């Protein structure tokens, strides 16, 4: 099980969040019970971490809104989940504004520096692409971070608290520390060879050359000081000041240890990120993607995320079938095949610069019907399937030439927040691989991302253009899929997950489970998962294989994996209550909480 962290100082710090003034608060010796499901009113929070959920909940209880709580929880995840998120990374922020009834997005995805080119990940000596870990553990993989500016922009547009106030609880957790659990220690151990190559990372995460012991207290005073500096001087200290200068120095001159812990098989390459790259970074605010499914409005993230288009296209394909009238295995067959078709199209067409006209066609009903006609109820399609042709002329089944089945990694986290006014935040943030690029910025306490390895290292589409090759200022394609579902213009569901390319299928499967198969939201999150990403085999948890494989038609092949994703979600119930749900087991389990608990009339 994940850690229950001491929250005394964090709770005291949160007292400053009410109207910017200190308010007396009773210190509590420990966080609330860690439960994956909570039902109540007044607002709700769901994250993968008990401390982050408690911090967000306290913001709501003290009058902050969903955006305030999301930023405070995300900053805390940067402390307690540092291998998945932090100010060295980026993410996608989806927001439902109850006043206007509109869904907005912030693209805080990391960007390639001006020095980046289509051949950045090609070894000049061999003419071949670098191996993934060779590219990852280097300056080459680091994109210009967008997380901190995402927080500031969200607060400027919709928040009621200052960034300085909302960083305070996370700063206290970093300063005072938290107990190390098995997940935290295991993530360090899994990165020991990479972390051990850098003096700054080894000093923080490998004391004495070993991962911190389970049950020990982990403190990050450098990150606490960085948060305090940002709180005092604003985001410019990162994008135009000394913190940014240290980021650039780390990328240009990786802090390679004089005496590494363990060995590493590749040279550690520097890269050309500059102060101008940081100063020139801006978030974007694209229109969300929208798909109508079973009378519901499904909103997601547009490019450079592929999540909104891939989830939306797969839903449009599945809408051609009455899944409710089928057995669960029959429905899962359609789900797997729709996923493969959507991934074929995602890989062929979707990247940072995909024209809006193409994105509209990918989400059109005509294209979905053409793709759906390929699905055979009696057999699985041979994989990989070819992409379709989203040209606006649809009739029979179509096929094109090339399928790219490249994957991306899993170092990501997700949170869901709703407030008493009906505002909703679904936020997925990341540093890409678990542990990012392995480099802690010296003296600053946070890891840098390896997000640029989400680009295709070399062309994948034969003679056709590849939409996801590196380029200056370009943002790599992502699978993050923060999703908000409306019913008659009002929130019904908000869901998201980490998990690299499996994020798309995890969100899609949760929606199918909840909307079509009659599961409750907690059941939809907990149900066994499978991820078909247009590959020869489907990645699947043991429970999926044992529960569905016997009823599937021939042609499906499975690759076992212990777990897929670590989702969070909130549902707006018909009686006005909120149901917050998190993983009961995966990634050590998550934490869901509501501002006010529901008491039945009989209690």
Active site residues: 412
Question: Which candidate, 500, 479, 412, 406, places its Cα nearest to that of 449?
Answer: 412
Cα-to-chain-centroid distance, residue 134: 23
Q: DSSP of 70-86, one letter per residue? A: HHHHHHHHHHHSTTT-S
Q: Is 63 exposed, middle or buried (0-12, 13-18, 19+ CB in 10 A)?
A: middle
Q: What is the DSSP pairing of strand 411-419 with strand 217-218? A: unpaired
Cα–Cα distance measured from residue 373 to residue 15, given in angstroms and rounded to the nearest whole number? 58
| CA neighbours closer than 13 Å in the CB half-sphere of residue 194 | 24
Any idea which residue has 């240009």 for tokens? Answer: 252
Question: Which candidate, 171, 48, 159, places its Cα nearest to that of 93?
Answer: 159
Cα–Cα distance measured from residue 117 to residue 402, given in angstroms and rounded to the nearest whole number? 23
Q: Is 464 exposed, middle or buried (0-12, 13-18, 19+ CB in 10 A)?
A: middle
The answer to whether the peptide bond before residue 546 is cis (omega within 30 degrees of 0) is no
The token pair that represents 400 in the structure block: 């094109």
Residue 298: which H helix or E strand, with range?
A: strand 296-300
**What are the C-alpha distances in Å from 416 to residues 62, 86, 494, 536, 580?**
18, 17, 7, 33, 8
Measured CA angle at 7 (ends 30, 425), to 5 deg: 110
Does residue 285 sit in helix, strand or coil?
A: coil
**What are the C-alpha distances in Å from 257 to residues 114, 203, 210, 221, 262?**
28, 10, 15, 21, 11
Cα-to-chain-centroid distance, residue 196: 26
Check the CA dihedral 541-542-547-548 and report its sign: positive
Do residues 201 and 261 touch, judged by C-beta distance below 8 A? no
Any idea which residue has 């000081």 for tokens? Answer: 225
Do residues 14 and 62 touch, judged by C-beta distance below 8 A? yes
Cα–Cα distance measured from residue 540 to residue 561, given in angstroms and rounded to the nearest whole number? 6
Question: Which candidate, 443, 560, 442, 508, places its Cα nearest to that of 309?
Answer: 508
Q: What is the DSSP pairing of strand 37-47 with strand 591-597? A: antiparallel
Cα–Cα distance measured from residue 317 to residue 339, given in angstroms and rounded to the nearest whole number? 9
Any idea which residue has 């996801």 for tokens? Answer: 468
């Amino acid at each position: 099980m994940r850690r229950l962290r001491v929250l005394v100082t964090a709770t005291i710090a949160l007292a400053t969040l009410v109207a910017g003034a200190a308010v007396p608060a009773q210190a509590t010796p420990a966080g609330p019970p860690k439960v994956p499901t909570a039902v109540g009113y007044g607002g709700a929070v769901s994250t993968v971490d008990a401390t982050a959920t408690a911090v967000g909940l306290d913001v709501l209880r003290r009058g902050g809104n969903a955006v305030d709580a999301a930023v405070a929880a995300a900053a805390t995840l940067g402390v307690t989940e540092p291998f998945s998120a932090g100010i060295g990374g980026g993410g996608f922020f989806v927001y439902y504004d109850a006043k206007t009834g509109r869904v907005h997005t912030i693209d805080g995805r990391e960007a390639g520096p001006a020095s980046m080119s289509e051949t950045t990940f090609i070894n000049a000596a061999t003419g071949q692409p670098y191996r993934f870990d060779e590219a990852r553990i280097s300056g080459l993989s680091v994109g210009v971070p967008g997380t901190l500016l995402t927080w500031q922009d969200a607060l400027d547009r919709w928040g009621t608290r200052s960034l300085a106030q909302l960083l305070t609880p996370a700063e206290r957790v970093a300063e005072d520390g938290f107990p190390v659990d098995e997940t935290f220690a295991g993530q360090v151990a899994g990165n020991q060879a990479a972390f051990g190559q850098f003096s700054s990372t080894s000093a923080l995460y490998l004391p004495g050359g070993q991962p911190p012991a389970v049950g020990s207290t982990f403190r990050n005073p450098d990150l606490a000081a960085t948060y305090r500096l940002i709180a005092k001087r604003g985001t410019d200290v990162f994008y135009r000041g000394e913190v940014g200068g240290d980021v650039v120095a780390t990328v240009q001159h990786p802090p390679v240890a004089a005496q590494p812990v363990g060995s590493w098989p590749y040279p550690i390459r520097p890269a050309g990120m500059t102060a101008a790259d940081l100063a020139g970074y801006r978030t974007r605010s694209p229109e969300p993607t929208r798909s109508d499914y079973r009378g519901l409005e499904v909103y997601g993230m547009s490019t450079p995320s592929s999540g909104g288009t891939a989830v939306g296209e797969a839903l449009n394909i599945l809408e051609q079938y009455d899944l409710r009238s089928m057995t669960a295995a029959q429905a899962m067959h359609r789900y797997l095949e729709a996923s493969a078709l959507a991934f074929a199209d995602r890989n062929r067409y979707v990247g940072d610069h995909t024209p809006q006209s193409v994105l509209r066609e990918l989400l059109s009903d005509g294209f979905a019907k053409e793709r759906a006609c390929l699905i055979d109820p009696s057999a699985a399609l041979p994989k990989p399937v070819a992409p379709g042709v989203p040209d606006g002329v649809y009739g029979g089944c179509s096929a094109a030439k090339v399928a790219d089945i490249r994957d991306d990694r899993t170092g990501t986290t997700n949170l869901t927040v709703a407030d008493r006014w009906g505002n909703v935040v679904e936020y997925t943030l990341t540093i890409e691989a678990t542990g990012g690029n392995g480099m802690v910025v010296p003296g600053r306490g946070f890891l840098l991302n390896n997000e640029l390895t989400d680009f295709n290292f070399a062309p994948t589409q034969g003679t056709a253009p590849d939409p996801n090759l590196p380029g200056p200022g370009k943002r790599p394609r992502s699978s993050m899929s923060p999703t908000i579902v409306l019913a008659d213009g009002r929130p019904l569901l908000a869901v998201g997950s980490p998990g690299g390319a499996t994020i798309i299928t995890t969100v899609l499967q949760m929606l199918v489970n909840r909307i079509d198969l009659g599961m409750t939201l907690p059941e939809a999150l907990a149900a066994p998962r499978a991820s078909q990403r247009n590959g020869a085999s489907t990645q699947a948890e043991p429970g999926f294989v044992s529960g569905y494989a016997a009823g599937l038609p021939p042609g499906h092949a499975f690759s076992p994996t212990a777990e897929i994703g670590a989702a969070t979600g909130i549902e707006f119930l018909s009686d006005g209550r909120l149901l917050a749900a998190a993983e009961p087991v995966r990634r050590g389990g998550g934490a869901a909480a509501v501002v006010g608990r529901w008491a039945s009339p009989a209690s």
